[in-house]
A and B are shown apart, each in its own frame.
Chain A
Amino acid sequence: MSRNRLDAPHGLLIDRSRPIAFTFDGKARAGFAGDTITSALWAEDVKVVSRSFKYHRPRATLSAAGHDANSLVQIGDEANAPADVRLIEDGMAVEAQNTFGGLERDRAQILDRMGRFLPVGFYYKAFYKPKGVWKRWEPAIRHLAGLGKVNTGADRGYFDKQYLWADVAVVGGGPAGMAAALEAAGSSDDIEVVLIEENPGLGGSLTYARFDAAGERAARERDSLVGAVEAKANIRALTGAVCNGWFADHFLPVIRGDRMFKLRARAVVVATGSYEQPLVFRNNDLPGVMYGSAAQRLVNRYGVRPGHRAVVATANPDGYAAALDLIGAGVEVACVADLGAERPRHELAGAVADHGVPIAVGATVCEALAKPRLNGVEGARVARIVGEGRVADRHDTFECDTIVSSIGWQPAANLIWHAGGRTPYNDATAMFEIGALPAGMYAAGSVAGCFPIDTVIEQGRAAGWSAARDAGFARGVAPSVGNDRGERGQNHPWPIFEHAKGKDFVDFDEDLQVHDLDNAVREGYAHIELMKRFSTCGMGPSQGRHSWLNAVRLNARANGLGVNEAGMTTQRPPYTAEKIGVLAGRGFEPRRYTSMHHRHEEAGATMMLAGPWYRPEVYGKGSDRDAAIHAEARNVRENVGLIDVSTLGGLEVRGPDAGEMMERMYTWAYKKQRVGRARYTLMTDMTGVITDDGVACRFHDEHYYVTATTSGVDGVYREMLFWNAQWRLKVDVTNVTGAFSGVNIAGPRSREVLARLTDEDLSAEGFPYMGVRMAAVAGVPCRLLRVGFVGELGYELHCPAHSGEALWDAIMEAGADRGVRPFGVECQRLLRLEKGHVIVSQDTDGLTNPLEAGMDWALAKKRPFFIGKRSIDLQRDTVGRRLVGFELEPGAGGRIPKECHLVIGDGEIAGRVTSCGYSPTLGKAIGLAYVQADRAEEGTVFQVRVDGGGAKAGRAAHVACRVVPLPFFDPENARQEL
């Protein structure tokens, strides 16, 4: 079946000894190791691999390098794989994309004949009115216009990232890049050079291009450069790797397979080459119309004959080189149409003429003649050019199956653009050229507008030398660069031949023709940025690689401007399509487990995440969650419970100025606090907003141990350090959160249980409420705090983290016969609500000041300063809302408000519920809410809008709530002070 396969030496990259079997659209296909999907299929005469985006025209490769969307295919679950560059593998199942009923008999091809009903901006115009019409049409249009299929049920892949470091990174492993890497690497044995090449092997244009009539130069340079690079120990060549962007300070994402290397370099050489550009003429998208470089890639890299009879259109020596390669591959070249005004004198043209090929000077291919169903080329019309974009009416028709064009190049300057480099258009060369480059970045080779092989290599050396110097490896003087630009790489200034009947494609991805862009400008989308978005030119998968140069020229002409005045649109990373999986990488989500974590799991706890921490939400799993919470609550109120509070933040504030520091950071008074006592702490920010709370335990005149909330402690620590970086008090603050595990044992029997484990005097006199001690409990050194959140007799024990599990075990064992049971976060929230305790960030928000929260009592009045004091004082007379306790009035019908349900007053939002729940202790629903300050009086009734229960299921209803004094339970605090 390999009808188009050539013999060696054609096919540098394939290994004929290793056949590979794969399928395309279900049919068995064969190729060799090293073949791309495109080359293997082409060898079997399968050229069409997709249907175009809008008109569903058959498409085959244009660039053979993935610079167009023509060759995007589906491989299993992977959509939009580039067939031009993806190597075949055994068993690979490849499918065409964007077809309906098969690639060959695509039912949607009728869209091609409806082209005149699909003008530029069609979707914007057709579905703009009436309102809502787009919603009806969208599914059908998306179905027709889709690219590939995403399997949302696909298995999760493994992707990861790895840092890499280099002194010099060279992007592009062609002659310029290899020369740059060698020069840089030669500066010192210590320099580290990373050379990044997109293709599976090094060589770049040396693997397919022809530089001389004999066709020997490329191989000679390749062997010498590749050999030298491989021999250099300090060059790491990453092949099959794409550098997808440039980020600040030379940070380069380099993707190879399922790994992204994050490469940090000191200097970068961009030797990324250039994209060949299409000649625009009628039917220039037919299968069999391709770039000269595409034909050379097929022949030289893969040993595949592009066709049998070809017409070549060219404006530079590259087209003649391609013609020679075609001839060498046994393709009959029917004609070379040279767009230039004069017959070229270079040796390549001479060699083509020597083969007896007719050369039509000042002429171009102006139309491709299509086979039935547009499935290929039948012939080419060649006509004389009579003006910019115009040809004579008379033309010659050549029978052929292949049309090859080489009319110019566009620098692959993506990384340069990402880095903020400029590439002004040179009217003399009709090319974007490298202008100013950012510090530490150098360009060499065809990306820099340089095509003759000797100059390319010299330029590469110079760039490598400069990059090495910038990386700190200066050596000798910079290599000189000749200024022979030669005739290679010439761009024709206007390779655009509009046809009255259209199908003269500028952008193949988006099926945009010359008149589409003209119309966009005519309709007012004249600016290049507007034209791009309205027409979607350059917005397809190839991101303007093949379309942008011509699009800018057309825009400039339509606006009567020069190309530089028309300007470029901004180019951003990524350079080429990348998988979301690669961006995500392996994913690192730090998780923190308390020392008692496994005990909670063994006890059947439902765990919840609090920031990075796992905490027991409730002990028990499944449906009867409320019952489990209520049982835990009852056990604390009536007996004794144990909760893991290890996630609580902890800070040591120590030094002669510790008291001073405390009084500046917190709102209350701490210098007068007695050693051996705890005190509530409330922190506000400079605007007076509550940011955290906890308790301060004074263990020594110069030592406070301060707790902070789980999520707040890092911020509290940072703030303390921030301020003391300015105040320079004699105080040291240390975050000891992770150093301590903690438990709170609470309930009427807590003293009895704890007494079994310690010699410390636990009597009410010996260790009163708000007392703190250091004591051994079950042989573990603990900080004992007689504090609690739940309003019962209780003790908090903070112990070394590595002893947390042992302490937990000891208490559970000691209290077993007293019915000690663990309780979870939900139970604790309920119990504290019964006591009216505020949870910062649940019952406060980003604007709550202590006055609103009813915490005036915690504000020092006489001190000149604490963080937030001035702002609180300024707001003292303008408190608009207050946090109040409320009970549900009878008649709510079991509808209990939830957190964030709105308080409604006079039909307006007047506040919000922050905490609410059913209290089994009190036998009623209670909560905290913000209400308007003038409606905060005890006994005031207000309305809360709750979910459900309205006339229609799911509709909101109002329930009445009454303001009551806090706390709800044990207002005398008799229980906790036992």
Chain B
Amino acid sequence: MPESPGPADRVRRSNLYRVSAALDAVWTDVNGFACPARYGDAADEADAARGLAIADLTALPRAGYKGWDMAGWATAQGLDLGEPNEARAQADGVLACRLAAGEVLLLAGDDAGSGTIDRLAAAWTVDGATCYPAPRSDANAHIGVVGERAPETMAKLCAIDLRPHRFANRRIAQTSVARMNAIVVRNDRGRTYALDVLVDSAAVVYMWECLTDAMAEYGGRVVGLEALATLAGGATERGGA
């Protein structure tokens, strides 16, 4: 990924950008944000992330729809929608996380590919609407918690059993993490266990501190987007998953 101007030059900024800058992040251009691509050697980071790592993924595109007939509308738009608290990957790598009968959260893949998100945004109109866009892009910050030891780390913050044999890939837990409401989606990167954790964007610095503290015991590291992309082995493979 090419290097790019820093976060403070952008109109859109993750609330974590100062934290990442203090760790000497190398930035990449994602969705109008400067997103940490790596902090040191990306290959090292990918290795570390197999064990335990966290990453600020706030820059990745997100969207949401909510309403009494969200499912009817979204399905009509060709969205592959699972049961509540189940996530399904769409052909372009966008993950459709069904949060309730009438609510869906759309997460772009680590390549920031947002085809499905853009398509739904273009299709939605207020006239005759049975569901409405939710401002997920700004309401939430997005942290990736990756690696074999992620469940133990999360067990210090969260009451849900997230161990791989109890929390299957693409399951969703909407729960309390470090006493903040959070959406936790298991979304493995390649063969590496991974969680996408979405929290209130105003509380992301607090959540980051909690995760940093919790992962220290297990040797966790902060990594950039490239490490996750390496683990996933490219977007096409994930798209087919």
A interface, CB within 8 angstroms of B: 160-165, 262, 264, 586, 588-595, 598, 612-613, 646, 652, 654-655, 700, 702-703, 730, 732, 734, 736, 738-740, 778-780, 800-803, 805-806
Contact = CB atoms under 8 A, between A and B. Distances in A.
Contacts of A652: 132
Contact of A702 (B58, B68, B126, B134): B126
Contact of B68 (A595, A598, A732, A738): A732
B166 interface: yes
A802 B129 contact: no
A160 B132 contact: no
B158 interface: yes
Interface string B114-136: 00000000000010010110111
B152 interface: yes
B213 A163 contact: no
Nearest to A728: B68
Given A612-B203, A802-B14, A586 B135 contact: no
A700 B205 CA distance: 35
Given A732-B67, A803-B12, A738 B134 contact: no
B156 A802 contact: no
Nearest to B180: A590
A802 B15 contact: yes
Contacts of A612: 203
17 contacts: A161-B156, A163-B159, A165-B166, A591-B206, A592-B203, A594-B202, A595-B202, A598-B18, A655-B129, A703-B126, A732-B66, A738-B138, A778-B11, A800-B135, A801-B139, A803-B138, A806-B10
A830 to B, nearest CB: 26
Given A736-B135, A800-B12, A162 B155 contact: yes
A738 B15 contact: no
B126 A700 contact: yes
B37 to A, nearest CB: 18
A740 B138 contact: yes
Contacts of B90: none
Contact of B179 (A162, A590, A732, A803): A590
B20 interface: no
Interface in B82-108: 102
B58 A593 contact: no
Contacts of B202: 592-595, 613, 646, 738, 801
A612 B178 CA distance: 13
B13 interface: yes
Contacts of B139: 736, 738-739, 801
B169 interface: no
Q: Which of A730, A778, A802 gathers the greatest number of chain B CB atoms within 10 Å?
A: A802
Interface in B39-91: 58, 66-68
B13 A802 contact: yes
Given A646-B202, A732-B68, A738-B201, A801 B166 contact: no
Contact of A163 (B10, B155, B178): B155
Contact of A800 (B102, B137, B158): B137
Question: What DSSP secondary structure best describes chain A's contact surface?
Answer: mixed
B235 interface: no
B152 A592 contact: no
Nearest to B154: A163
A779 B140 contact: no
B149 to A, nearest CB: 12
Contacts of B131: 732
B206 A162 contact: no
A592 B132 contact: no
Contact of B13 (A264, A595, A646): A595
B156 to A, nearest CB: 5
Nearest to A190: B165
A802 B33 contact: yes
B161 interface: yes
A243 B95 CA distance: 42
B200 interface: yes
B132 A732 contact: yes
A595 B201 CA distance: 9
A802 B210 contact: no
Contact of A591 (B12, B13, B157, B203): B203
Nearest to A160: B156
Given A163-B159, A591-B206, A738-B202, A806 B67 contact: no
Contacts of A734: 66, 132, 134
Interface in B198-239: 200-203, 205-206, 210, 213
A589 B12 CA distance: 27
Contacts of B33: 802
Nearest to B162: A163
Nearest to A781: B11
A13 B2 CA distance: 61
A593 B207 CA distance: 11
A778 B11 CA distance: 9
Nearest to A262: B159
B158 A802 contact: no
B205 A593 contact: yes
Contacts of A732: 66-68, 102, 131-132
The 6 closest A-B pairs by CB, nearest first: A739-B139, A739-B135, A592-B202, A800-B138, A801-B138, A738-B200
Nearest to B202: A592
A342 B152 CA distance: 59
Contact of B201 (A164, A589, A801): A801
Contact of A806 (B12, B166, B180): B12
A778 to B, nearest CB: 8
Contacts of B136: 739
B11 A803 contact: yes
A162 B14 CA distance: 29
Contacts of B178: 588, 590
B159 to A, nearest CB: 6
A738 B202 CA distance: 6
B6 to A, nearest CB: 13
Given A588-B210, A592-B203, A652-B132, A164 B15 contact: no
